[in-house]
Amino acid sequence: MLVKTIAKKYATALYEIAKGQGQIEENKATLLGITSSLGKRAYEAFSNPGITKKDKEAGIQRVFAGKLSKELINFFSLLIEKKRFVYLPEIAKEFTDLYDKNHGLKAAEIQSAFSLSEDQKKKITDALEKKYKSRFRVNFSVEAALLGGMVICVDTEMYDGSLQNRLVEIGNLLK
């Protein structure tokens, strides 16, 4: 819970700065890109007490100078200074949640047993938008353990239409 609170504070601060600069979409895309490309070793390096804060900040400047806005580079430097860089993935998630909330988007996580075609994804997204009367940002993933069907999560609601769940229900009825 503490991590979520910390991440939310930093994400809110960055969101407000980006809003003032008119760079919300760019910052969101950059945060998501960086967090998905940084590996575990990079986060370990930024939290390693054996590497000086000065060296970590110099690394940020060297890697991102000219590629990112000054505000984002300063934000990363602040995270290093406050020993919060390890929370960057959670900060990016909170930033995305703020973006969604302020742009009328809902988030949905959909796991299916098999890869879905683009047409199937569009139909599912359209059905969600119709049911909830809202636009959606949908994250599709494949989870072979489901055996068949899919699991849809929207906010605190979960619809489990997987074959795995059906088999568990049948097993419970037979007991």
* pLDDT per residue as tens digits for the range 44-90: 888 888 888 888 888 888 888 788 888 898 999 899 889 898 899 99
Question: Final residue of a domain: which of 65, 100, 135?
Answer: 100
Cβ-count burial of 79 within 10 angstroms (0-12 exposed, 13-18 middle, 19+ buried)? buried
Question: Does 59 lie in the same domain as 139?
Answer: no
pLDDT by residue (tens digit) across 134-144? 999 999 999 99
Domain boundary among 46, 73, 100: 100
> What would the pLDDT profile of 99-121 be if each residue is shown by its tens digit?
999 998 998 999 999 999 999 99
Count of domains for the chain: 2
Pair (20, 85) in one structural domain: yes
Query: What is the percentage of the chain residues whose pLDDT exceeds 90?
Result: 52
> Do 83 and 135 belong together in one domain?
no
Residues 67 and 110 in one domain: no
The predicted pLDDT at position 40 comes to: 78
Same domain, 38 and 123: no
**One domain, residues 117 and 95:** no
Same domain, 123 and 84: no
Residues 96 and 108 in one domain: no
Lowest-pLDDT range of 52-66, 121-135, 155-169: 52-66
149 & 84 share domain: no
> Is the pLDDT at 1 greater than 80, yes or no?
no
End-of-domain residue from the set 53, 81, 100: 100
Predicted local distance difference test score (pLDDT) of residue 44: 80
Q: What is the mean pLDDT of the chain?
A: 90
Q: What CATH number is attached to the domain comprising 35? A: 1.10.520.20
- Verify that 84 and 18 share a domain, yes or no: yes
Domain extent at residue 96: 2-100
- In this structure, the answer to whether residues 155 and 167 fall within a common structural domain is yes
